[in-house]
A = this chain, B = another copy of it.
Amino acid sequence: MAGQSKENTRYVGDTVVHDDDTIDFEIIELLFFAYRDFTSDPDAILEKSGFGRAHHRVVHFVDREPGMTVADLLDTLKITKQSLARVLKQLIDSGYIRQVTGPEDRRQRMLYTTEEGQALARALAEPQSRRIADALAKTGPGARDTVKRFLACMKNGAGD
Contacts and interface: CB of A to CB of B under 8 A. Distances in A.
Interface of A: 1-2, 4-5, 12-13, 15-19, 22-38, 40, 57, 60, 64, 78, 115-116, 119, 122-123, 125-126, 128-129, 131-144, 146-156, 158, 160
Query: How many chain copies?
Result: 2
Contacts of A129: 4, 18, 22-25, 28
Interface of chain A, main secondary structure: helix
Contact of A132 (B4, B122, B136, B149): B4
B155 A139 contact: no
Contact of A150 (B15, B24, B26, B135): B135
A123 B28 contact: no
